[in-house]
Amino acid sequence: MVESWTRLALDCLFPRSCPPCDEALAPGAVSDLCPTCTAALVAPPPTSCVRCGGTVAAPAAVCSGCLRRPPAFARAVALGPYRADLGSPNVLARTVQCLKYRGHRTLAAPLAELLAAHYPFAPDALLVPVPLHTARLRSRGFNQALLLARGLARRRSLALAPRLLARIRPTEEHARLDAEARRRNVRDAFRIRSGQPLAGHSVVLIDDVLTTGATADACARALLAAGAGRVDVYTVGRTA
């Protein structure tokens, strides 16, 4: 109660706006996302690959990319499509960009709430956030995947291993790389920290966006090599 009154008072003095759309938030609003943006975030594609979640022509089909090069992870699921078209990204893309690149860390909470509401995997799975290299972490100041994983774990009472997976060398930003270059970029870039047994655990990798799946595949290979029984991937967005 005290927290809600404090939030209301602060909002009257310093009104907040929704970062993705810049619309004014109602005084005392719990979420930093407006209702319109929140409602637009969850939009699963009508036809998606049962393996990687990418768009396919027919329902319940495996895409050509997964047929040519099956990923190490068993299944990838996202809240909705990530469309970052130049000048007109969709709401989900704008929200992720505000979190990841503009420092709006409070957006992790409503995104984690949505991830928890639509969580599709086993209730005894171990959540593992995709790690950043220490240099990238120092530069950004936080790991968005860890913020999302923590929020999801708390809301669904799921086990979380925040330091299980390590990125052992710096890698290039993927935005300007094609699929093959991304695979080369993250090959052998991840390892399991010593003293962290997996022993057949079902693992769910958490990240903000899945694009080609190269990073998720590299992480999954490291986890499976260390004894994980299965690796699934859960993200906010999937590139359309």
Nearest to 51 by CA among 36, 67, 35: 67
CA angle 98, 55, 41 (to 5 degrees): 30
| 3-class SS of residue 5 | helix
**Per-residue model confidence (pLDDT) at position 224:** 95
Report whether pLDDT(122) > 60: yes
Give 5's pLDDT tier (boundaries 50, 70, 90): very low
Report whether pLDDT(227) > 50: yes
Tokens 């979190």 belong to residue: 99
Nearest to 210 by CA among 81, 36, 17: 81
CB 143, CB 129: distance < 8 Å: yes
Tokens 């299980």 belong to residue: 164
Report whether pLDDT(175) > 70: no
Nearest to 215 by CA among 178, 185, 176, 170: 185
Q: pLDDT by residue (tens digit) across 188-215?
A: 889 998 777 788 899 999 999 999 999 9
The mean per-residue pLDDT over the stretch 84-92 comes to 83
Q: What percent of the chain has pLDDT over 70?
A: 90
| Mean pLDDT for all residues in the chain | 88
What single string gives the DSSP state of each residue in 95-135?
HHHHHHHS--GGGHHHHHHHHHHT--S-TTPEEEEPPPPHH
Provide the residue ranges of all domains of the chain, joining segments of one domain with +: 40-239
**Which residues are within 8 A (CB) of 226 and not within 5 positions of it... i.e. 6 or more apart?**
192, 196, 198
Higher pLDDT, 175 or 111: 111
The structure's pTM equals 0.91
Distance separating alpha carbons of residues 53 and 51, to the nearest angstrom: 6
40-239 has CATH 3.40.50 classification? yes
Report whether pLDDT(119) > 50: yes
**Which residues are within 8 A (CB) of 114 and not within 5 positions of it... i.e. 6 or more apart?**
38, 41, 42, 79, 236
Distance separating alpha carbons of residues 89 and 222, to the nearest angstrom: 33
Q: pLDDT by residue (tens digit) across 125-143?
A: 999 999 998 888 898 999 9
Q: pLDDT by residue (tens digit) across 17-51?
A: 999 999 999 887 889 999 999 999 998 767 889 99
Give 184: exposed, middle or buried? Use CB within 10 Å, 0-12, 13-18, 19+: exposed
- The encoded tokens of residue 33 equal 């996302």
**Per-residue model confidence (pLDDT) at position 180:** 78
**Per-residue model confidence (pLDDT) at position 2:** 42
Backbone angles phi, psi at 136, to 5 degrees: -65, -40
Q: What percent of the chain has pLDDT over 90?
A: 64
